[in-house]
Structure 1
């Protein structure tokens, strides 16, 4: 098969190859890159491919900074951070392959009316520098519970980056991605630093600052930055979410920037009556001009929120991630013209599929145990622990996005049959056959779907590890270990696999800790058969992991 490589300077179109990635369509453009929806041909996986502008790729200083910062950002593995999969070069084209988020960014979500929005570009930034007016058009004000749901997830992402010493430098609604299930993912960690380094002054020759709508005073003045700068930008974003516009506006970038440096925060009381006092206090502290007057870390902000969640936030505190159905409507509309014969065929398969039957939990546990015994622990391997939280495949409404990956994978009558079909066809080595379990049968609201989705995540972790994609293997495993609705048996298996990973890295303490977490879960398993199978699985593992598997002592500690 002849390769369809683009010529330098030519626009990339569907079918072009960049490295291992086949371009499917354009997602949009930002200040430093053009963004495409592409398919990783090795792993049969959708990605957002950022192809850097040639003028930047030719600069040797930029190239070095790009390599350093992009590698650091790629090390951030967390469910609320858009994962960088690969950094590469194809001829003179330099690119970043990152996790594709089937959703829209927060800026689009905050626009006036959903029906009036132009189709959004998922995973793609909006280049604000082309807008000569820095007065933001008022948008909608999000409900308090939805706001807190978004805020907690962004803080979790920033807490992860702060713990490893990475500053985002460009927190704003455009860099916060949303899915219809309410999941939040922060994108473009470190890329502002890649583009402009430490000097972000307005007068820096040869650079375009863009809109300083969300920048901290010290960032605007070119001073030293730490995580408190990101917290200021988060405060501006939070103000925008609550009140429908950022706190400061101006006719020029310079005028707007000086307001961040000098102007007092507007009086919050008359702007919106239902904002709790604790959120108003939080905003004032996040938006303090001096970094020393702000919270010192995302962890401290989280502590503050949890301190008040039993007080004036109790009525609006989300006990779960708040779904955002408008995200689905916007994304679906953005893809309407692209439905083709393959998509229509897949929709026909979905419509013709029999309804899913319910199975009793007792029967389900036996089925899962049998499946695990037959398939999962053969050649058990994986990748290291590096994040918290959960991540689930997109729902069936995203057919147009996934059609290139799933069109040849038949939908079965129920989730169990889908998993069994994947088991029978696993010799193909395709990630997509396992991902289709969650794609056709989303976990939300259905414990049976969630269970088999977790099993499919375990299988995918093994495939990613074999392909050398350790970060993705980690994401699959940790999504199980921190899913509070997942069965303890499945979580225990995931922790044990993570223990094997730490063993391969010669991280003995981490290995022992992960075995201990699996042991803690063992104490929550009531089925004697499940306990026997779990213990047998450990006996089939390396001897030093078995050495730390001491159910008797664990049971005694948990009495």
Structure 2
């Protein structure tokens, strides 16, 4: 087992009083029963975790030791024992195994499987939001683990990214059942109704209120964790644990597709159902959730190449090729062609990611350099008229295909939807623009998917600060099927992006104001609204840069625009949820 990082002061909450802390101790080098302690690898609120060796079997173990100040409290000593005996009931490939429970020289310990790798929180901090195939694999494995625990009456009570461990082979291990409750062991009254335990960022509404829990509380926490790893941030933020708990009780989360438009609608519905406020409205078992998840994975199985766990940047990780093979096999997808050389995954995620982290100038600058290097070898160039003729009249009618790079270099898929998902999930970073252009290039008559691809292309070009192509795309899209409202609106938003790239903040304000005040074409596409929010956020950052002029007058106008866009986005989202 790998230990969790130290918790922030307001991350964990409880209704119990903490005992006075004992003097620090170091067990390094000691022998506790059959275990020789090597070094401290983590510390939590109630215990410490050491890397140790089981002498008789000569294998590494994680030794979880209860802190001295808790040993004198019978309830917590009992809970420590319950954790070991509860998890020992389970023999599941996605749950950290318990080897032994013991006491030596007044030290109470649990010997557990040592997982070499990282936890999901560490991975998210380093890599950002996950690609969809990888997220689906993690969902399947962790859901299976929590389902197995629920079948024997165990409630984890503290599901969160820190407790999902990623092994070197790409497997998920659910850890830290330290707050678990055995619903069948009524003789052990470790937790009482009215007691709040868990982590506020991920706890269920009933858990936040201290109500009685069942396995559906764990399903809610899984939903919050899935939301975090797919979008890149938790659904709720607050300044205190109490305020955060109230949000779980009262507020509806923003749909993932608003923050990350490439999320499949069925996956969005699955996660939001896990996060229903009332337990009766959620999935009633992990098995139900896994059945729907299997359908989503089947629908996406035509996309070649699941993204492997990229743990190479983490200190304890090795075997990248092995991890890639394992992650592909677990996700049920066909392996992608091996790509050697510089790892551009972080740069790709900068373009694909959601939330406030979409604009990352340093990463985008790196992508521009990498694209230029690869382009010199691959022959990035504008598409010629002869190639347009070869592809037929339909392709020639689609706009922006000549702005480069060659969209024909992207492999053709069997449908416009599959082509779009290829661009999101499988396109190499240096060919991302070509992959987006391939959607209208190969399927010019599939208007919905072509239009959606132009939006994503526009956002990618804007983030890459490619002024020339932003202008060209706006011009071509505006002339294409002018009767289509969404494309005209995309051109208008691209005009605002162009203004900001030219450092014309007043132009941004004027263009976005006209868009919002238009009665002929009211803005209603959440992706376009989010693009506007992104531009305003970047404009606010721009006026705070040294040497910027007019900030005092511009900041209030930008703040009003941002507020109007966010309100509009929430209104569109509410309507969308009502329809669904």
- In our comparison, the structure showing a higher alpha carbon Rg is 2
TM-score, scaled relative to structure 2: 0.48
Greater RCO (CA < 8 Å, at least 6 residues apart): 1
